[in-house]
Amino acid sequence: MKFLVTGGAGFIGSHVCEGLLAEGHSVWVLDDLNDFYDPEIKRRNLRDLQALGQPLEFVLGDLVDRDVLENLFSSVPFDQVIHLAARAGVRPSLEDPALYQRVNVEGTVNLLETARRWGAMKVIMASSSSVYGVNSKVPFSESDPIFSPISPYAASKLACEALGHVYHHVYHMDVVALRFFTVYGPRQRPDLAINKFARLIREGEPIPVYGDGTTARDYTYITDILQGVLACTRREFGFEVINLGESQVVTLNRLIELLELALGRKAQIERLPVQPGDVPITSANIEKAGRLLGYKPSVRIEQGVPRFVDWLQTRG
């Protein structure tokens, strides 16, 4: 099949492309290589993918530019679209909310509309656990009310899910929104906690810890996320929202301990105030993913952190 992967040069996207190529599909990557972090990291991901010698094409472009999408869809009859491109991050979204709405929401509706007009009627899109906001019910279930996001990033992802539902309801597109829970592993973005903390600890620099370290996250290893995404390509949904997490809650203090063990160095901690937009806990109910996708995460944090550190020591 022919797949378009938006954001395919990034962390999750490059793994998804690699998985699709391994299954024998043809892949087109659409990415703008923006400067949210060093674009050379994405270029290296692309070089790694191209070195596989499989059918992969890269298109430099922005989802907000309708002409880029029109030219791409008019030239390739895509079977499926995996939409991972977005402006990411809760804290950066507080600094430029309009940018997040423009790229994430306008970009998504541009993609859905162009896909519809050119007959690419199956779209798998990345959502986020951030849509749950401060949720007192743990673990988080897809049926929980989600009308209280606490960051522009979360609001943009909630809007994208709503757009997916509209395009299913009105145009009968097959759409699944995957709520990712704190993904980590090789190629992780350098601004995310595990990557950032590991590099700082290795270099003997202090790590910034917001609050007392009791905030907790459902850290999910990239190979488990990939398992869930690829499973979505093999069946039809109508419209579904599905959590993809590890179903294991880890405090920030425990994460730091695991990084110290893997690196063989103690962390220097710089205590900072809790940041606006941060939620105290994320925790995924993955019963629906198990039932619909056969999803069964297998990499616990005690295994995943050393694997990431091994990769970092060789590549980072």
Domain for residue 211, yes or no? no
Domain for residue 213, yes or no? no
Structural domain for 31, as ranges: 2-183+222-245+283-297
pLDDT at 280: 84
For residues 174 and 268, give the distance between their C-alpha atoms in angstroms, rounded to a whole number. Answer: 48
pLDDT at 273: 87
pTM for the model: 0.95
For residues 183 and 186, give the distance between their C-alpha atoms in angstroms, rounded to a whole number. Answer: 10
Strand partners, 183: 220
Domain for residue 272, yes or no? no
For residues 289 and 304, give the distance between their C-alpha atoms in angstroms, rounded to a whole number. Answer: 21
Contact 220, 262 (CB under 8 A): no
Tokens of 225: 């996320």
Four-point Cα dihedral 156, 157, 160, 164, nearest 10: -160
For residues 7 and 315, give the distance between their C-alpha atoms in angstroms, rounded to a whole number. Answer: 21
What is the DSSP secondary-structure string of 80-124? Answer: EEEE------HHHHHH-HHHHIIIIIIHHHHHHHHHHHTT--EEE
pLDDT at 316: 55
Active site residue 153: yes
Contact 290, 244 (CB under 8 A): no
Q: Which of these is catalytic: 100, 132, 153, 221?
A: 153
Number of domains in the chain: 1
Domain for residue 260, yes or no? no
Q: What is the CATH number of the domain that holds 233?
A: 3.40.50.720
Ranges of residues in the chain whose predicted pLDDT is under 70: 277, 316
Strand partners, 268: 206
* 3 state SS of 130: helix
Domain for residue 150, yes or no? yes
Domain for residue 309, yes or no? no
Domain for residue 315, yes or no? no
The tens digit of pLDDT for each residue in 36-74 reads: 999 999 999 999 999 999 999 999 999 999 999 999 999
For residues 126 and 297, give the distance between their C-alpha atoms in angstroms, rounded to a whole number. Answer: 18
The candidate with the shortest Cα–Cα distance to 28, out of 56, 53, 9, is 56
Domain for residue 265, yes or no? no
Please, which residues have CB within 8 angstroms of residue 136's CB and are 6 or more apart in sequence? none
Strand partners, 27: 3, 56
